[in-house]
A and B are shown apart, each in its own frame.
Chain A
């Protein structure tokens, strides 16, 4: 079964501080992992995916198969990063995308 766990419902950090949003997953095969973000009054949108290994808006995420984790990191938080963040998993060849519970990130000035 596919399962995604985001242990923090709420995360609050100061502007300029490092940010790490945790994501752990459970899947027996080779998963594809994603981070989606929902800014206030906007649609849910893709932030980044592990296969592209890119940095978007200063965020990076590394897939750690040994720890079954896909934590999202940013070295210096900005106020515009305040949003709801969802980690998601798609199994190999699967059509469905399973989401975690979400973490609401608040960046304090």
Chain B
């Protein structure tokens, strides 16, 4: 079991560029989430999904899009990157019965 995997580990973008952060899990978990981690702000929920085809907004959804076409994958899209999106991004998953989230290793994104 690889658990939750994220790619890339590091990324540098220029303002206005677009990119997709990849997240996959092999535990057949229903729930998946994206968080951003900023100093002094903790972990803030961007978007989450309760199953394939179902997504919802978290605390800080602006500037990000998600989709969930399969149980395994939950990509996060930045359509037009801004310096305020410089952060560390974590993907997480959990099943419907046990309320424990499993986190990926994170993606460190810098927007210049």
Neighbouring A residues of B44 by C-beta, 8 Å: 99
**Chain B interface mostly helix, strand, loop or mixed?**
strand
B103, A45: Cβ atoms closer than 8 Å: yes
B45, A97: Cβ atoms closer than 8 Å: yes
Tell me if B42 counts as interface (CB < 8 A to partner A).
yes
Tell me if A49 counts as interface (CB < 8 A to partner B).
yes
Tell me if B33 counts as interface (CB < 8 A to partner A).
yes
Tell me if A20 counts as interface (CB < 8 A to partner B).
no
Q: How far is the CA of A34 from the CA of B101 in the complex (A)?
A: 10
A96, B90: Cβ atoms closer than 8 Å: no
Contact of A86 among B43, B48, B58 (CB under 8 A): B43
Q: How far is the CA of A46 from the CA of B103 in the complex (A)?
A: 9
Neighbouring B residues of A36 by C-beta, 8 Å: 101
- Nearest Cβ distance between residue A47 and chain B, in whole angstroms? 11
Count, A-B residue pairs, CB within 8 A? 48
B45, A44: Cβ atoms closer than 8 Å: no
Tell me if A9 counts as interface (CB < 8 A to partner B).
yes
Q: How far is the CA of A101 from the CA of B92 in the complex (A)?
A: 18
Q: Which parts of A13-30 form the interface with B (CB within 8 Å)? A: none
A101, B103: Cβ atoms closer than 8 Å: no
Q: How far is the CA of A37 from the CA of B103 in the complex (A)?
A: 11
Closest to B41 in A: A101
Tell me if A62 counts as interface (CB < 8 A to partner B).
no
B101, A100: Cβ atoms closer than 8 Å: no
Q: How far is the CA of A45 from the CA of B105 in the complex (A)?
A: 11
B43, A99: Cβ atoms closer than 8 Å: yes
- Nearest Cβ distance between residue B33 and chain A, in whole angstroms? 7
Q: How far is the CA of A29 from the CA of B42 in the complex (A)?
A: 23
A residues neighboring B (CB under 8 Å)? 6, 9, 32, 34, 36, 43-46, 49, 86, 88, 90, 95-102
Q: A44-B43, A99-B43 are in contact. List 10 more A-B contacts (CB 8 A).
A: A34-B99, A43-B106, A45-B103, A49-B99, A96-B33, A97-B45, A99-B45, A100-B42, A101-B41, A101-B42
A-B contact pairs, 8 of them (CB 8 A): A34-B99, A95-B50, A96-B48, A96-B58, A99-B42, A99-B45, A102-B42, A102-B43
